[in-house]
Amino acid sequence: MSWSPETQSFLKHSPPPAASPPARGSSQSPAPKSQFTHRHLLQLAAFYASCPLRVVAHMDIDCFYAQAEMIKRGITPEKPFAVQQWQGLIAVNYAARAFGISRHTTATEAKKLCPALQCQHVATWKEGDDKWAYHDDAAANMATHKVSLDPYRKESRSLVALVKENLPPHLQRVEKASIDEVFLDLSAHVHAVLMQRFPELSGPPPSDDPDERLPMPSVLGLHWQDDLLVGIDDGETTAELEDPDWDDVAMNIGSEIMRGLRTEVRRRLGYTSSAGVASNKMLSKLGSAHKKPNSQTIIRRRAAQNFLSGFKLTKIRNLGGKLGEQVCMAFMTDMVVELLKVPIEQCRHRFGDDTGTWIYNVIRGVDHNEVNPRTQINSILSAKSFRPAINTTDQAIKWLRIFVADVHSRLVEEGILENRRRPRTISLQHRHGSQARSRQSAIPQGGPLDHETLLDLATNLLGQLSLEGGVWPCSNLSLTVSGFEEGVRNNTAIDSFFPKGGHVLPMAPPVALLKPGTSRAAEEDSTGPAPKRPRRPDGIERFFPPKGVQKTKGGQSMLGRPSGKQPGQQQRGLSDAYVRDEYMSDEPASRAPANHQQTPVAPGYTCDQCDAGFETGTELQCHQDWHFAKELQDQEGRVRPRVARNAAPTTHAPDNTSNSQHGAGASSSSSSSRRPGRPKKTEPGQGRLNFEPFE
């Protein structure tokens, strides 16, 4: 829906709703009025994040991987069932949870707690295979298997497609929040239903004043069916609400929409789910986790503060990491109910005006984050942690082959064969002891992006890392393709190889092509007959970088091509975060204990905004807090160094430099050592909020 500039300005200048509506039937006000106005209604139709009638829902599938496997195998919900990864459990159904089994239980312990428990190991890629499969012996063969989450990704796609199909196309905003979750901004949909059911709302304001209050709703009570309705004070209720105002009616319509949607998910895909319906993302997410499985929780505006009072601060979205910890330390409590006593001035004094105000508001249930209707992925990662570490190039290449098969099969799902979507960048991350390094290069845009091309590019990157030494033993490798372009025609990007003079610009070609006697130009000129691909050299010679390729320096690509933004290429900014499945690493994102012969394996956590890799969920959370705080700051467009200057949570923290790495530069590198111009690492005790812009 698009609004004229006049309408937009009209919508923006909205006074907040009155604190409370005038009493019904009071002598001063014979015709009872709502606390909401005609302007609020228009804001609702236009998805205004600050609209007090806003309705946002969050839906999360119950014990997702477990249900996925159970549905596939026709196992009924009352049978205890868990999904296993190596010796740990990564999803446990509710029948098994009744025996005290959780994601922290090992498969062996779980069997003791419930001998009838059925465990299914996740599908794996077996070393040497070119397709994932369910292997009975996977748990005992961690060194030669790599987890495939393809079955769950496929289900996740069906879920998002079904949700979108079942909401009116022009009134929906769907954000895929993780592999089994979506946020929905139901505002415009709810507005349409309101107009249909309450024709008295559809006319212009009688006095032409948009700030004129609406009449009170012509309903005496609202029915919430089986939903859990969070109460205004202690206790929860499913009872009707007397004297509802329009925000309650809007929420009631939202809950009806969600009930219908969840029923459809159950009917068509077989999954039970839980949902939270509230006025914003933060509350709706807390709501969906409040009562599981197969339930939905409604948090009306008037119940928000009561609902939040019982939570620890760190349970609130974006406060689960360092920022949350700092707030708890600053005010000596982690309970929201206590933090509600802290005056706004103190919050601002400790955390700066913007962040302080945000903290003050969020614990009161105020959150104006938009539901971001991205449902497409913008990067694909395949990774493996090695215990024991690997020590040779041959071993590494075996894994690169698997990564390539994994990434390629997902590229096919993204439409690579039809040139619907195509990534621009490939990167290889490597871990040796505590040192993490990565190399990336552009993906040539002409010609097919097949296994062989991907393997050449990946092997080339490994070669570049090898040249620097310090590669073995290697404890983790991961391959990422990112920066997807939409609707790439077969040869569209080939044009970009030809500068005005008609010379071919080289783009990180496979190493083999740079061996003496091979013609790079002939190979890349896919407008002519395809030349026969030269034999790939074996052994270490593969790892020497092409002639003329140097490490990135001063914005120049490794091939001397400027790595800046290319014409027509979209610059990737912080707001362009892509949707990525939560648990894409080979290891359980948890806490799942390692098997008895092996030391625990650090899960590979990757930031969905900048590709930075982390070993633990806490590190990732802390890093994401940094993004979040910076985004807040950027939104304000102001810079107020208070707590710390230029502080970033890790050396991976994104800045302009790392964003530009996602550009079309032919090749670039990054490592965990600090580079000039990068933000300094936080000192112990130093805060991390408020930033100066990066030059």
Site for Ca ion in 313-342 (CB under 5 A): none
What is the token pair recorded at 637?
Answer: 């467009």
Distance CA 550, CA 460 (A): 13
To ligand TTP, the closest distance from the beta carbon of 158 in angstroms equals 15
Closest chain position to Ca ion (CB): 60
Site for ligand TTP contains 493 (CB under 6 A): no
Which among 447, 452, 586 is positioned nearest to 527, based on CA atoms? 447
Q: Please identify, among the stretches 452-460, 567-575, 588-596, 662-670, the one whose residues bind ligand TTP according to the rule CB under 6 A.
A: 588-596
Q: Which is nearer to ligand TTP, 86 or 497 (CB)?
A: 86
Q: Please identify, among the stretches 56-64, 234-242, 301-309, 461-469, the one whose residues bind Ca ion according to the rule CB under 5 A.
A: 56-64
Q: Which is nearer to Ca ion, 64 or 351 (CB)?
A: 64
Residue from the set 303, 589, 620, 632 that interacts with ligand TTP by CB under 6 A: 589
Torsion of CA 142, 145, 151, 154, to 10 degrees: 120
To ligand TTP, the closest distance from the beta carbon of 586 in angstroms equals 11
Tell me which of Ca ion, ligand TTP, none is bound by residue 304, counting a contact when its beta carbon lies within the kind-specific cut-off of 5 to 8 angstroms: none
Angle at 638 between CA 635 and CA 641, to 5 degrees: 120
Asked whether the beta carbons of 291 and 297 are under 8 A apart, the reply is yes
Q: Which is nearer to ligand TTP, 179 or 648 (CB)?
A: 179
Distance CA 39, CA 491 (A): 50
Give the chain's end-to-end CA distance (angstroms, integer). 37
Site for Ca ion contains 180 (CB under 5 A): yes
- What are the beta bridge partners of residue 381? 480
Asked whether the beta carbons of 591 and 474 are under 8 A apart, the reply is no
To ligand TTP, the closest distance from the beta carbon of 583 in angstroms equals 4
Distance CA 43, CA 47 (A): 6
Site for ligand TTP in 99-118 (CB under 6 A): 103
Tell me the per-residue interface mask from 173 to 192 with ligand TTP, x by CB under 6 A, - otherwise.
------xx------------
Site for Ca ion contains 175 (CB under 5 A): no
CA 556 to chain centre: 31
Residue from the set 36, 47, 48, 64 that interacts with Ca ion by CB under 5 A: 64
Tell me the per-residue interface mask from 54 to 93 with ligand TTP, x by CB under 6 A, - otherwise.
------xxxxxx------------------------xx--
Asked whether the beta carbons of 298 and 230 are under 8 A apart, the reply is yes
Report how many residues bind ligand TTP under the rule CB under 6 A: 18
Sequence-distant (≥ 6) Cβ neighbours of residue 378 within 8 angstroms: 482, 483, 484, 576, 578, 579, 580
Q: Please identify, among the stretches 146-154, 160-168, 172-180, 302-310, the one whose residues bind Ca ion according to the rule CB under 5 A.
A: 172-180
Asked whether the beta carbons of 666 and 507 are under 8 A apart, the reply is yes
Site for Ca ion contains 60 (CB under 5 A): yes
To ligand TTP, the closest distance from the beta carbon of 108 in angstroms equals 19
Distance CA 15, CA 37 (A): 9
Closest chain position to ligand TTP (CB): 590
- What are the beta bridge partners of residue 434? none
Site for ligand TTP contains 587 (CB under 6 A): no
Treating both helix axes as pointing N-terminal to C-terminal, what angle do 393-413 and 451-467 enclose, rounded to 10 degrees? 140
Asked whether the beta carbons of 9 and 45 are under 8 A apart, the reply is no
Binding-site ranges for ligand TTP (CB under 6 A): 60-65, 90-91, 103, 179-180, 292-293, 582-583, 588-590
Binding-site ranges for Ca ion (CB under 5 A): 60-61, 64, 180-181
